[in-house]
Structure 1
Amino acid sequence: MTKADSLALYGQVMVPNYAPVSVIPVRGQGARLWDQAGTEYIDFAGGVAVNALGHCHPLLVDALIEQGHRLWHASNVFANEPAIRLAHALTQATFADRVFFANSGAEANEAAFKLARRYGLNTGDDDKYEIVAALNSFHGRSLFTVCVAGQSKYSDGFGPLVSGIRHVPFNDIAALEAVVSSRTCAVVLEPIQGESGVTPAHRAYLERARELCDRHGALLIFDEVQTGMGRLGTLFAYEYFGVVPDVMTLAKAIGCGFPLAAMLTTDAVAQHLGVGSHGSTFGGNPLACAVGEAALRLINQPDVLRGVEERHARLTSALREIGQRHGVFEAVRGIGLLLGCVLAGPWKGRARDVMNRCLEHGVMVLQAGTDVVRLAPSLVIDPAEMDEGLQRMEAALKSLASEQPHPIETTIGESV
């Protein structure tokens, strides 16, 4: 099927909630993708921080094939071996004692928020149900999760919102102190706000959130859907910041492209979701958990995590140089391999234009809002492929800059 035929059929049969770019990938290997016409791309997007080990990693493919010959699905009426093994491996690698498996970040967060409400009502009065969250956060697309996120563009138009949610500015300690109270059942935060601009939390902010939760008997929930599984150079972001939550949610890279998510928590907290209180038909699917077990084993290695730090240094240095040469970026921020290139002056609002021009030059990047170009490449991307992607990205930015009537000079800063 040609690209034109594919896009025409897409427009006829798909619900129009997406606006996909014109490229349709058909094959991937490592850090490279190929479209229907055979055009090759260097992938700096990573499937939105999903493909932590690149495309079609042979050991993940082997794990999927092996499990595919054994058992695909049996339902949560039964336990299954891959789910048990993966849950055990996750508890061995984290603060947590218990795991609930789901299929997406939204589902993992839905479980966490329901757990928080149940925990609050079980441990406090009937009014201990408030969830405190950050403005401009992102926690998924279910009705509950868009209400928690504090971005009206995701929640407007769907009728009455879920009540009992308080929003505060991100990294504002005083604002957090003003709203967390005996009515609070949970504070939920992303260690890095990914979708709204790749903005890392301040360590002091997360530390204060931990203290406030302890003082008021509330749960601290970290949404590590984007930051988990080695993305920051530690296996999980809570380790990077040195702040341990009560609940952590994972998705994206936990399955490296196979739909899988998890909510992790402690023994004491987990007891508040008793038999029948929550569930998922496909959560803990044997195929997904077999892939997840292999992914965790591969990512949780010192050389892989150390390599994230090395690639961060190489990538951010090059991006700052490129941005300065062409006057496109005013800052490069982020941690590990979750990076945001903040667009300078006349380029503000044009993140999608930059993304599309990069695509035309054979490199895939993302946007995080309208003013930030986001990169989330494979944790094991070959340095030579990274350099090639940077060359393609610079060609795209040079092309854009040549169309700007008044090029600007800018000094690129670092924002962590």
Structure 2
Amino acid sequence: MNANLKVNRENFNELIVPVYAPAEFILTRGEGSRIWDQNEKEYIDFAGGIAVNALGHCHPVALNALMEQAKKLWHLGNGYTNEPVLALAEQLINHTFADKAFFCSSGAEANEAALKLARKIGSLSDNPNKNEIISFESSFHGRTLFTVSAGGQPKYSKDFAPLPAGIRHIPFNDLEAAKAAINANTCAVIVEPIQGEGGVIPADPEFLKVLRQCCDEVGAVLIFDEVQTGVGRTGALYAYMNTDVTPDILTTAKALGGGYPIGAMLTTNRYANQFSVGDHGTTYGGNPLACAVANAVFSFINQPEVLSGVEERHQYFVQRLAEINQKYPIFKEFRGEGLLLGCVLKDEFKGQAKKIVNLAGDEGLLALVAGADVVRFTPSLVIPFADIDAGLLRFEHALAKFQ
């Protein structure tokens, strides 16, 4: 293809491996929570790159950090260290339970590292059978073979058998099932504080306490997958801070780089030191360019006024959605925390979340699904209230067409 020719949507079908089905329009530029396509049609962005664009598009904090670091040093490889990675590690450690950080490029990679570390911990125990991983139905932990197997959605893993063994899925928020499943052979329990892809389903506080208690009793590590809930998304820096439960390992990505690919696994010295040199690694992990951007984004979000602003926006969204639902009674509930919001369809509209999202796109609103029955919003954490109003008006127009 000639670089001077204008690309179009048909080029996607010709050139890209068909694992995605993107919208018919091609987006070309964005500013804040507004974005434009090739035809200069404007959209309000409630999707946020799937909870990634925590400061919206081209925010000066991220942009300035990127440009400044781009003039210095881009990449080294893990035979060397650099200043931005050490600064970011210090930030994450100072503001969480962790003592050590491992950096990578995505949430799946962060979960891969966490699960490998859990298996290593089990192998170093006195029990040769301590290798079972407990996960939950409807969970999502990534697309590598290991993480898609840990996820509790067979539609993502069924075509790739044989899958890694020793992973067991039990019902989410089921205390008795958890107590029965976690045993001496369990090396890890991996859980999302809010199941994102599975339908924006919050974990019950008591359920998380039971997981913590059971893991302590049998010597298993508790892993919180905070890829989607982390870095301010729920109104706390990390969602575990809204609970009385502290994990042993936490994974974070998505919003961490504000759009620049980066992920991290955080843990304590007790567990980190069971990895040895050469046990794990990744080429781009700790890349100075990614870490410089993440440093700036994390610092900006980790301010009381930004985090409290997330909760203010949550209340505003829920109030306005309830008003819209009075007019177009399509949803049976709105759930989630902070700016991870799920609009759950009534039973008579089950399976039609994608249709609503497509209609919203026609009206100039970017939104997401979380399964077939939930419309999901994960906008910028600093989205202006005027953009919330504009986006919800477009959403209302889409619902009018849907009904």
TM-score (norm 2): 0.98
Q: How far apart, CA to CA, are the structure 1 residues paired with 2:143 and 2:4?
A: 32
- Is contact 1:320–1:329 with CA below 8 Å preserved after alignment? no
Aligned to 1:411: none
Gapped regions of structure 2 (runs ≥ 5):
none
Find the aligned partners of 2:72 and 2:337 in 1 and give their Cα distance. 39
Which residue in the other structure is 2:160 paired with?
Answer: 158
Partner of 1:369: 371
1:3 deviates by: 11
Aligned 8 A contact 2:9 2:25 in 1: no
Residue type of the alignment partner of 1:312: H
Distance 1:390 1:12 in 2: 35
Write the letter of the residue equivalent to 1:197. Answer: G
> Is 1:292 matched up with 2:281?
no
1:247 matched to 2:246? The reply is no
Residue 275 of structure 1: how far off its partner (Å)? 0.3
For the pair 1:9 / 2:11, whether they are aligned, the reply is yes
Moved more, 313-322 or 90-99: 313-322
Partner SS for 1:188: strand
Which stretches in structure 1 are left out of the alignment for 5+ residues?
Answer: 402-416
Q: Distance in 2 between matches of 1:253 and 1:129?
A: 31
Give per-residue Cα distances to partners, 1:206-232, cap 9 Å, x unaligned.
011000111100000000000000011
Report the 3-state secondary structure (helix = DSSP H, G, I; strand = E; otherwise coil) of the residue aligned with 2:266.
Answer: strand
Structure 1 SS opposite 2:8 = helix
Matches of 2:231 and 2:90 in 1, distance apart?
Answer: 16
1:146-169 Cα offsets, whole Å, 9 max, x none, are: 111121111111121111111110
Query: What is the CA–CA distance in structure 2 between the aligned matches of 1:272 and 1:6, rounded to whole Å?
Result: 50
State the partner residue of 1:351. 353
Instruction: Identify the residue that residue 401 of structure 2 maps to in structure 1.
Output: 399
CA contact (8 A) 2:106 2:263 kept: yes
Q: 1:100 maps to which residue? A: 102
Give the AA of the match of 2:213.
Answer: E
Residue type of the partner of 2:236? T
Runs of 4+ in 1 over 3 A off after TM superposition: 1-5
Q: CA deviation at 1:58?
A: 0.6
Q: Offset of 1:125 from its aligned partner?
A: 1.4
Alignment match, 1:305:
307
Offset at 1:123? Answer: 2.1
Number of residue pairs matched by the alignment: 401
Does residue 1:168 correspond to 2:138, yes or no?
no
Query: Alpha-carbon deviation of 1:244?
Result: 0.3
| 1:151-197 per-position Cα deviation (integer Å, ceiling 9, x unaligned) | 11111111211111111100001000001001000000000000011
Report the alpha carbon displacement of residue 260 of structure 1 after superposing the two structures with TM: 0.2
Q: Is the 8 A contact 1:3 1:36 kept in 2?
A: no
Using the TM superposition, give the Cα deviation of residue 395 of structure 1 relative to its aligned residue in structure 2, in angstroms.
Answer: 1.0
Does structure 2 retain, via aligned residues, the 8 Å contact 1:2–1:36?
Answer: no
Say if 1:3 and 1:395 are closer, same or farther in 2 by CA, change over 3 A: farther
C-alpha separation between the residues in 2 aligned to 1:355 and 1:210? 37
Amino acid at match of 2:98: A
SS at match of 1:123: coil
**Sequence identity (%):** 53
Whole-Å Cα distance in 2 between the matches of residues 159 and 231 of structure 1?
34
AA matched with 1:136 = S
- Equivalence for 1:44: 46
Q: Secondary structure, in 3 states, of the residue corresponding to 1:160?
A: coil
1:273 shift after superposition? 1.0
Could you tell me which amino acid in structure 1 is paired with residue 274 of structure 2? H
Query: Greater shift after overlay, 118-127 or 269-278?
Result: 118-127
| Residue matched to 1:198 | 200
The yes-or-no answer on 1:266 pairing with 2:253 is no
* TM value normalised by structure 1: 0.95
The Cα offsets for residues 237-287 of structure 1, whole Å up to 9 and x where unpaired, read as 000112100000001000011000000000110011110000000011000
Give, as a single letter, the amino acid of the residue that structure 1 aligns with 2:282.
S
- Give the Cα separation in 2 of the matches to 1:325 and 1:311: 21
Distance 1:72 1:178 in 2: 49
Residue 21 of structure 1: aligned partner: 23
Root mean square deviation of aligned Cα: 1.3
Aligned residues of 2:344 and 2:374 also touching (Cα < 8 A): yes
